[in-house]
Amino acid sequence: MTRFIERHPAWALIILIAVALLAWLVFAVWPPALEDAIGRKKIFLNALFNGVTLGGLYFLVASGFTLIFGLMRNVNLAHGSLYLFGGYVGYGISAATGSWILSFVVAFIAVALVGVLLQVLVFRRMEGQDLRQTMVTIGLSIVFADLMLWAVGGDFYQVQTPSWLVGPIELPLMTAVKSSGEAVYLQYPLVRLVIFAASVVIGVAMWLALNRTRIGMMVRAGVDDRDILAATGVRIQLVFVLVFALGAGLAGIAGVVGGTFQSISPGEDTRFLLASLVVVIVGGMGSIPGAALGALIIGLAEQLGSVYIPTYAIVVTFLIMVVVLALRPQGLLARR
Amino acid sequence: MSLIERAHLDADIRTAEPRPAFAVLSVNEHPAAWIVAVLLLIMPLIANGFFLIEIFGQTLILGIIALSLMFLAGYGGMVSLMQLTVAGFAGYMVAVFGVSGNANISLGWPWWLAMPVALVLATLFGTLGGALAVRTEGIYTIMITLAIGAAFFYFTNQNWAIFNGHTGINTVATPHFWGIDWRADIPFYYLTLAIAALCYFAVLYLSRAPFGLALQGVRDNPRRMAALGFNVNAHRVAAYALAAFIAALGGVLQVWDYHQISPGSVAVERCIDILIIAVVGGITRPVGPFIGAFIFVMLRTFALDFLVKIGLDGNRFRLLIGIGFLVIVFWSSDGVVGLYERWRRSGKPAATHPRGGGGHG
């Protein structure tokens, strides 16, 4: 942190000012002039919270993608299909048993198993051939998409939110003051906050697992130089399978989350594949903190964009990617 | 990279032997090529409207767009998934500047003004996308170009002022001049054939011209080429510009063929279709994309009937395409062209065909 300030004083100042401005926008009661200029505070806060929670969902999808890429150099363009598959499995379990938590567990296990099968049966056979692996994942995504369309049809499905998470919660954030002097507080869906908290927990757990455990050490060493790691006697194929299973399983969990937030239908696979591509391009390929930062930026840009400049929300996302590529082609938090 | 590299290793072994400059034109050397050329020329005598336009016209148009990808991937080592997006952009520009049923959007320019403007703008668009993509290398290219393609698709879906949202632009006018309706079946077929042939021979020529050779050098060893004084990024961006122009030609023909364009025509699946066409056909030779396009169009048109006939669900056409693509990627690094050449080489002893390389190029 201090090193960053020493090396980039101007950037540190800009970030500090931006954070202060954001904090003021969130906590202060807006003066009438500001409300006239950009609309009511409630709309802004809702967009902000939607953006942050959507960022949590994007992080779940993109972290698996970036983990797999970082270790195996495998651009898994079937990642969106894994997401969609997880969503369908979660929907099926939650509809059959009525348990929301169970649907996460089963979706994680089912999609992780698919990941293991892919790694063992397909990708191990073409190790080190990046482009060929990518082509295979494209072919697989087509096959998966059609198989899922065949199996479940083109309908929209929504995973049932459990009763203890239904409904809004009042947050201690004032959105306005009534003429009687009574403060109005922000109402926000509890389920989105819980899911966001869960994705933060998952992110921190992944960071700890990567940086504080023996397996994590092997994975990091594998990212740096997998040949040397293999030469030191580590069973690298096992590490590969584990990482692929974890990445795929995260996509499966994200599918259930996406099914609860929004809905799942054919075409969502492409949408979330694009989201994870942009997130990891912005954040930096193969970096978990990068995926978190990228997901936050893209989620916020998408939601704030769709509120304030509705027709150009996608363009904002895309422009962010262009600017990052132009200034820092390796991504914001990549180590290179 | 290895898919391309391995395929090129094969191709290099074949092309390493000296060959006369005009080997392409000798009848004895390439009887198959000449038969195909003659067949294509007299096609209107054989095929009726449906086959002429829906099969052969579509094959040529998709072949042109896939050819631009083959040029980038085969000679430049850059797998770009945005070639269809460039084509779609050109199509949209023709519809926006030219005459169409959506009078509130189209500017109503005559075709001879709208088409060049569309070509120029699409080339610019592709060049800018390429300039962005060359900032990173290898496997990242595929991701960035896919992101560009997807962003364009979502943008056309959301934007109503220029692209008319998800309904797109309908009843786009097609050119009439010299007393000919160029969208009538036979003139349109010859127009498409002429442009396809032009693009094909242009790519064939470029692959042996200094620019193409330098580009192949950049593909094989960018650091060495940079050390030799070549501007690596300039060559790559120039390749993107040229590929964008070829794709834009295909896109203009596409919109004239269908009379309409909508976000569905630039969807991500369509972008990936182009990659499938190029890879299935073979990305080491300019003829590959056309062969791939022919297979793709035949499958797209007849897979339904075929699947129903053998007692399966006719809607599983994409499954068939996906599995076919996987099979090709698994077993042949050089697509159908590679399979053909392997079969030819195994069929004859090596001495009987000293020039080695078959096909067209």
Q: Beta strands B180-181 and B176-177: pairing type?
A: antiparallel
Name which residue leads in pLDDT, A325 or B43.
A325
Q: Is A321 on the interface with B (CB under 8 A)?
A: yes
Cα gap A108→A252, rounded to integer Å: 5
Flag if A143 and B323 touch (Cβ within 8 Å): yes
The mean predicted confidence, pLDDT, of chain B is 78
Please name the member of A132, A311, A325 whose beta carbon is closest to the beta carbon of B158: A311
Please say whether the beta carbons of A199 and A57 come within 8 A. yes
Instruction: Determine the pLDDT at residue B125.
Output: 92
Flag if A329 and B136 touch (Cβ within 8 Å): yes
Please name the member of B139, B148, B159 whose beta carbon is closest to the beta carbon of A130: B139
- Per-residue pLDDT in tens (0 to 9) along chain A, 336 residues: 677 777 777 888 888 888 888 887 777 777 777 777 777 777 888 888 888 888 999 998 998 888 888 777 778 888 999 999 999 998 988 888 888 888 889 999 999 999 999 888 888 887 777 778 888 888 888 889 888 888 887 788 888 887 777 777 777 776 667 667 677 777 788 888 888 888 899 889 988 888 888 888 888 888 778 788 888 888 888 888 888 899 999 999 999 988 888 888 888 888 888 888 888 888 888 788 888 999 999 998 888 888 888 777 777 887 888 788 778 878 888 765
> What number of other Cβ atoms are within 10 A of residue B33's Cβ?
18
Q: What is the largest CA-CA distance in chain B?
A: 67
Angle at A90 between CA A86 and CA A93, to 5 degrees: 140
In a domain, B277, yes or no: no
Name which residue leads in pLDDT, B70 or B37.
B70
Instruction: Determine the pLDDT at residue B25.
Output: 52
Residues of chain B contacting A128 with CB distance shorter than 8 Å: 2
pLDDT tens digits for B83-134? Answer: 999 999 998 888 888 777 776 777 777 778 888 888 999 999 999 888 888 8
What is the identity of the amino acid at B182?
W
pLDDT tens digits for B235-284? Answer: 889 999 999 999 999 998 888 888 888 888 888 888 888 888 888 888 88
In a domain, B101, yes or no: yes
In a domain, B313, yes or no: no
Closest CA to A264 of A102, A94, A105, A68: A94
Instruction: Determine the pLDDT at residue B124.
Output: 92
Residues of chain A contacting B138 with CB distance shorter than 8 Å: 130-131
Please say whether the beta carbons of B272 and A142 come within 8 A. yes
Mean pLDDT of B186-208: 86
Q: Is B146 on the interface with A (CB under 8 A)?
A: yes
Please name the member of B2, B140, B158 whose beta carbon is closest to the beta carbon of A129: B2
Flag if A146 and B316 touch (Cβ within 8 Å): yes
In a domain, B291, yes or no: no
Instruction: Determine the pLDDT at residue A82.
Output: 92
φ/ψ of residue B158, rounded to 5: -90, -30
CA distance, residue B129 to nearest chain A CA (Å): 9
Q: Is A128 on the interface with B (CB under 8 A)?
A: yes
Flag if A130 and B330 touch (Cβ within 8 Å): no
User: What does the DSSP assignment read for A123-166?
Assistant: GGGGTT-HHHHHHHHHHHHHHHHHHHHHHHTT--B-PPPPGGG-
> What number of other Cβ atoms are within 10 A of residue B92's Cβ?
28
Instruction: Determine the pLDDT at residue B19.
Output: 43
Helix H or strand E encompassing A182: none
> What number of other Cβ atoms are within 10 A of residue B345's Cβ?
14
Q: Is B138 on the interface with A (CB under 8 A)?
A: yes
Residues of chain A contacting B155 with CB distance shorter than 8 Å: 314-315, 318
For A142, which residue in chain B has the nearest alpha carbon?
B322
Residues of chain A contacting B325 with CB distance shorter than 8 Å: 135, 138-139, 142
CA distance, residue B287 to nearest chain A CA (Å): 21
In a domain, B136, yes or no: yes
For residue A27, how far is the Cα from the chain centroid? Answer: 26
Residues of chain A contacting B132 with CB distance shorter than 8 Å: 322, 325-326
Closest CA to B126 of B166, B83, B156, B165: B83
Cα gap A260→A48, rounded to integer Å: 19
pTM: 0.80
Flag if A321 and B147 touch (Cβ within 8 Å): yes
> What number of other Cβ atoms are within 10 A of residue A162's Cβ?
16
Instruction: Determine the pLDDT at residue B244.
Output: 92
- Token pair 């170009």 in the structure block, residue: B145
Candidates A147, A152, A274: best to mutate against B (most CBs of B within 10 A) is A274
Flag if B318 and A145 touch (Cβ within 8 Å): yes
pLDDT tens digits for B134-183? Answer: 877 767 788 788 888 888 888 888 777 777 777 778 777 777 777 677 77
List all residues of chain A from 144 to 173 with a beta carbon under 8 Å from chain B. Answer: 145-147, 150
Cα gap A314→B10, rounded to integer Å: 43
Please name the member of A134, A321, A322 whose beta carbon is closest to the beta carbon of B142: A134
Helix H or strand E encompassing A254: helix A236-261
CA distance, residue A327 to nearest chain B CA (Å): 10
Residues of chain B contacting A307 with CB distance shorter than 8 Å: none
Characterise B47 by phi-psi region: left (phi > 0), alpha (psi -120 to 50), beta (else): beta
Which 3-state string (H, E, C) describes chain B?
CHHHHHHHHHHHHHHCCCCCCCHHHCCCCCHHHHHHHHHHHCHHHHCCHHHHHHHHHHHHHHHHHHHHHHHHHHHHCCCCCCHHHHHHHHHHHHHHHCCCCCCCCCCCCCHHHHHHHHHHHHHHHHHHHHHHHCCCCCHHHHHHHHHHHHHHHHHHHHCCCCCCHHHCECCCCCCEECCEECCCHHHHHHHHHHHHHHHHHHHHHHHHCHHHHHHHHHHHCHHHHHHCCCCHHHHHHHHHHHHHHHHHHHHHHHHHHHCCECHHHHCHHHHHHHHHHHHHHCCCCCHHHHHHHHHHHHHHHHHHHHHHHCCCCCCCHHHHHHHHHHHHHHHCCCHHHHHHHHHHHHHCCHHHCCCCCCCCC
Flag if A138 and B272 touch (Cβ within 8 Å): yes
Residues near A330 by beta carbon (within 8 Å), at least 6 away in sequence: A284, A285, A336, B136
Candidates B4, B5, B141, B143: best to mutate against A (most CBs of A within 10 A) is B143
CA distance, residue B183 to nearest chain A CA (Å): 34
Q: Is A335 on the interface with B (CB under 8 A)?
A: no
CA distance, residue A311 to nearest chain B CA (Å): 6
Cα gap B350→B177, rounded to integer Å: 52
Residues near A234 by beta carbon (within 8 Å), at least 6 away in sequence: A218, A221, A222
Residues of chain B contacting A138 with CB distance shorter than 8 Å: 272, 275-276, 325
Share of chain B above pLDDT 70, in %: 84
Cα gap A289→A273, rounded to integer Å: 19
Residues of chain B contacting A311 with CB distance shorter than 8 Å: 158-161
Angle at A272 between CA A269 and CA A278, to 5 degrees: 140
A-B contacts at Cβ under 8 angstroms: 122
List all residues of chain B from 149 to 168 with a beta carbon under 8 Å from chain A. Answer: 150-151, 154-155, 158-161
Q: How confident is the model at residue B78 (pLDDT cuts 50, 70, 90)?
A: confident
Q: What is the token pair recorded at A89? A: 């499995």
Q: Is A138 on the interface with B (CB under 8 A)?
A: yes
List all residues of chain B from 288 to 317 with a beta carbon under 8 Å from chain A. Answer: 313, 315-316
pLDDT tens digits for B272-315? Answer: 888 888 888 888 888 888 888 888 888 878 877 777 777 666 67
Q: Is B323 on the interface with A (CB under 8 A)?
A: yes
> Is the ipTM above a cut-off of 0.90?
no
Instruction: For residue B17, give its domain range.
Output: 3-266
Residues of chain B contacting A77 with CB distance shorter than 8 Å: 142, 146
Cα gap A335→A326, rounded to integer Å: 17
Q: How many domains does chain B have?
A: 1
Instruction: Determine the pLDDT at residue A59.
Output: 92
In a domain, B276, yes or no: no
Instruction: Determine the pLDDT at residue B86.
Output: 92
Judged against a pLDDT cut of 50, whether residue B357 lies above it is answered with no
In a domain, B343, yes or no: no
Flag if B161 and A150 touch (Cβ within 8 Å): no
In a domain, B301, yes or no: no
